[in-house]
Amino acid sequence: MRSSFWSAARAGVLFSASLTAIASAQQPVEPAASKVKAKDAVVWPGVTPSGSVLLPNGWSLKPVGRQAPLGELPITLAEHPSESVLAVLHAGYGEHEVVTLDAKTARVIGRVAVPETYGGLAWSADGSRLFVGGGFDEVVYRFDHAQGFLSNRATLPIHGPIKPGAGERTEPLPRAQRGADQAQGAVAGLAPTRDGASLWVADAFAHDVVRINLKSGEPSTQVKLPAESYPYGLALDEARGRLYVSLWGRAEVAVIDTEKGAVVGSWKAEEHPNELLLSKGGKILYVANANRNTVSVYDAEAGKPLATIATAIHPKAPSGCTPNALALSPDESILFVANANTNDVAAFNVADPAHSTPLGFIPAGWYPTSVRVARDGKTLWIVNGKGTTSKANRDGPIPGVSTPSVREYIGGLFKGTLSVVAMPTPKQMAAYTKTVYECCPLAEAGPSVASGPKPPAGNPIPGRVGDPSPIKHCIYIIKENRTYDQVFGDMPEGNGEPKLCLFPEEVTPNQHALVREFVLLDNFYVDGEVSADGHEWTMGAYATDFVERTWPLSYRGDKRVPYPAEGNFALATPAGGYLWDKAKEKGVSYRSYGEFVANGTTPDDPATTKYETLKGHFDPLYRSYDLNYPDVKRAERFLAELKRFEAEGEMPSLIVMRLPNDHTAGTRPGALTVRAMVADNDLALGMVIDGLSRSRFWKETAVFVVEDDAQNGPDHVDAHRTVALAISPYIKKKSVDSTMYSTSSMLRTMELILGLDPMSQFDAAARPMWASFTAEPDLAPFTCRPARVDVNEKNGPHAVAVEASLKLDLDKEDQADDLVFNEIIWKAVRGADSVMPAPVRSAFILPSVKHDDDDDD
């Protein structure tokens, strides 16, 4: 380590972890001890006695530094070239904006809203202007800057001039002015020239790079890139006349000759290259590869690769770190890499870029999206996209009040923070690294060994990939968008809140019977926030940076933004693939019923899939998401398939099935009522389990049921807590398992049963569901309960909130405004005049306190 680097850090490092401000009313209410596991103390998400914050996925946060509050999904930070000013760009579910802060105090100076952004933030060389990408509006916003304040917004189109006299324009340029062959674009990276004459723009979705003449305000050059390139980051080397472009979708870096306006070279990287960082002399180029745990290093002058730097906490770790931001110390001897998904910043000595040396890890907040080093080298800034804690959302999309005081929809629930960290000394770096390892549940032994304690003797869930299991078939059923409290809040056996229960036993008799006869899981959490990332986590134990960056724009209502998941984009595919990819690798038979499958035009038309591994491994007659098609019919189709399997004597080892109608269609006239759709979903599940439990395969079968996400409801423990069921002859019957599990835990359990390798660090690190299973099977079948409410009940023309319901787009999951949609659901169930319970927020207040290791000795 270079002494010049470490000597800069003389001030103490602050760490936000005090528990003193947490009121007891904000803590989850634990059930009586007799209703939970007796062996171990139940662990719930939130602040722990050590001061860390336990996330619902089993990972922990203990960020160092002073935490300054930011808005929704801050994605990048830029330091002013000469003044003490920082600019932070926000691109989340809520309002998109640029916030300026005092670099010394981290206090907000000002903020300006922009209609939309997808990325792109750059100061002019003299700092008099700030450029901001305008997302799918295909524009760049230019602001004048003075003393931290931004003003005089001008709009620069990237595909054609603004109409004379139009001045300010916030709508996208009419397609006729751009040319018929110009695809819908989205602004990503920006790179202004030092003379202030030009601005280079990466147009991600149109697969081109554009140069804007800043004097005329019009585009002057367009460089076309190969199909599916998705240009993302830019690094400009004016001395050599080169522009480097990371190709998000092609695992390459394109080299553009800026004089010729043409691509003159392409360098191979690894999957999802995003942020680029060029050394001051232009000799070394660093590339963060988000879909791998790596940074590619190039000798840019010679145009050849020098090294690949691994950023994971363990050398045997699968993909999952999501390195997405880079920074160099002023002397360029130390490289910092933000690992978004593992919540840390990795540091490397790169004095010799071809032979880097790891220096350790710095604990960050939740999903760091940007890391920067101050010009003087004394401060490290880390932007945390999701802040420092998960939360309960008791006042979340519980509809019932048209204008609730706090609208805790999960899409905008987690506010970002800025970690202001004094540059660490060697002693502090060692302590920080230790903290990062303590926050990570990943087993050092490698992905083949399950994390956590060893499984009980004789447990049917192995502790190591490849060990035998008496279970030969896993049925994985995916439902849509409910929280635990919405369905099981009425159950005294678990940690529920009856006031938040919308679909009690009267509506869901089969789900209630199943968790009573088998096991109640009241401490189970989804890994995703909405369906777009939820289906990715449900099938891949990971959501790529592309999915995480794109879904908030889609969910905030921009119809031009594509739904980024469920096989629609190759760019969304995790490096470790999906569950069926792992099954194919090991020769395990598999079949999908509705997951990652596109419906035919009518129920009589066969379904299709874009995903290669599923071709020939899905049922074309099984209807995927379609709220006009009953789940009971889906169950009947699967039971017909089960009958075929019995006749043939074989059933696929892995079956993935979609039962989506608990999503509901609101109060749209002529559609089934909310209660009817949830009851239909419940009845379909009961039918499937009844049929399986009476089949020849039952003695070797385990069924796992989970919601893809929990966005459409409230929960008094955490916004991620959801409905999950485990059903098998090997389940501990009539038990309550309050072990903390996540979707990745369910995936890990199935992988261990079937001998599949984990897909990411998250299923590799997740605790298997050993506590729910027992060595001795009980083959008693399950008897489906009849529906207690009318599953054919339809909304009338004067149903509650009918006008609002008619305006919602329910043809695709999660295209409707969830806040409005959930108000409709609440009123449909509880009545037009019903009022929601008083809000109880389970946020954790983290004032700054001095860290034990701040002394610099």
Could you tell me the two tokens for 73?
């999904």
- Cβ contact 566:631 at 8 Å: no
d(CA 320, CA 325): 15
The total domain count for the chain is 2
Pairing of strands 85-90, 96-102: antiparallel
- The three-class DSSP label of residue 68 is strand
Is 838 within a domain?
Answer: no
Final residue of a domain: which of 252, 268, 284?
268
Nearest one of 146, 42, 49, 134 to 97, comparing CA atoms: 134
Structure-token match 């999908």, residue found: 592
- Tens digits of residue pLDDT in 738-781: 999 999 999 999 999 999 999 999 999 999 999 999 999 999 99
Q: What is the CATH number of the domain that holds 693?
A: 3.40.720.10
Domain end, chosen from 268, 291, 326, is at 268
In a domain, 451, yes or no: no
> In the numeric block, which tokens belong to residue 9?
């850090």
CA-based max dimension of the chain: 79
Write the DSSP assignment of 252-277 as a string of letters: EEEEEETTTTEEEEEEE--SSEEEEE
Q: Which residue has the tokens 């849509």?
A: 480
Whether 343 is in a domain gets the answer no
Instruction: Label the pairing between strands 273-278 and 284-289.
Output: antiparallel
Residue 697: how many other CB atoms lie within 10 Å: 17
Judged by DSSP in three states, 752 sits in helix
pLDDT the model gives residue 162? 42
Instruction: Report strand pairing: 218-224 vs 231-237.
Output: unpaired
Rg (CA), the chain: 27
Task: Name the residue type at position 356.
Answer: S
Which of the 8 DSSP states describes residue 497?
A: -
- 494 Cα distance to chain centroid: 28
Nearest partner of 306 among 287, 321, 328, 329, judged by Cα? 287
β-partners of residue 143 are 130
Decide the pairing of beta strands 735-737 and 519-521. parallel
3-class secondary-structure state, position 754: helix
CATH of the domain at 73: 2.130.10.10
Best CA proximity match to 675, nearest among 491, 826, 834, 531: 826
Spatial distance between the Cα atoms of 575 and 270, rounded to a whole number of angstroms: 10
Residue 14 lies in a domain: no
Residue 239: other Cβ atoms inside 10 A: 8
Task: Specify the 3-state DSSP secondary structure of 740.
Answer: coil
Over the stretch 445-501, which tens digit does the pLDDT of each residue have?
A: 889 999 888 899 999 999 999 999 999 999 999 999 899 999 999 999 999 999 999
Question: Whose CA is closest to 296, among 233, 238, 354?
Answer: 354
Judge whether 751 lies within some domain: yes
Q: Are 383 and 77 in contact (CB under 8 A)?
A: yes
- Assign 376 to helix, strand or coil: coil
- Residue 302 belongs to a domain: no
Report helix, strand or coil for 688: helix
Q: How far, CA to CA in Å, does 845 sit from each of 17, 20, 23, 26, 167?
A: 9, 9, 9, 10, 45
Cα separation, 773 vs 659, in Å, equals 24
Which element (helix H / strand E) includes 802? helix 802-806
User: What distance in Å separates the CA atoms of residue 379 and residue 382, rounded to the nearest whole number?
Assistant: 10
Domain span including residue 689: 473-830
**Token reading at 790:** 């009318």
Counts for the chain of helices (H) and strands (E), in that order: 13, 42
End-to-end CA distance of the chain: 17
| Structural contact between residues 495 and 666, judged by C-beta atoms closer than 8 angstroms | no
How far is 715 from 837, CA to CA, in rounded Å?
12
Instruction: Give the Cα separation of 571 and 763 in Å (integer).
Output: 21
Provide DSSP, 451-471: SSSPPPTT-SS-SBTT---S-
Q: Distance (Å, rounded) from C-alpha 293 to C-alpha 315?
A: 10
Question: Of 249, 268, 287, which residue is a domain's last?
Answer: 268
For β-strands 368-373 and 379-384, DSSP reports them as antiparallel
Distance, in Å, from the CA atom of 527 to the CA atom of 533, rounded to the nearest integer, reads: 9
Q: Is residue 585 part of a domain?
A: yes
pTM strictly above 0.75: yes
The whole-number pLDDT of residue 8 equals 34
At residue 740, the pLDDT reads 96
Give the pLDDT of residue 16: 28
Q: Residues of the chain whose pLDDT is less than 50?
A: 1-39, 162-180, 391, 398-406, 837-857
DSSP 648: H
For every residue of 543-595, which 3-state class applies, written as one string?
CCHHHHHHHHHHHCCCCCCCCCCCCCCHHHCCCCCCHHHHHHHCCCCEEEECC
Beta bridge partners, 198, equal 213
In a domain, 848, yes or no: no
Task: Name the residue among 125, 280, 279 with its Cα closest to residue 194.
Answer: 125
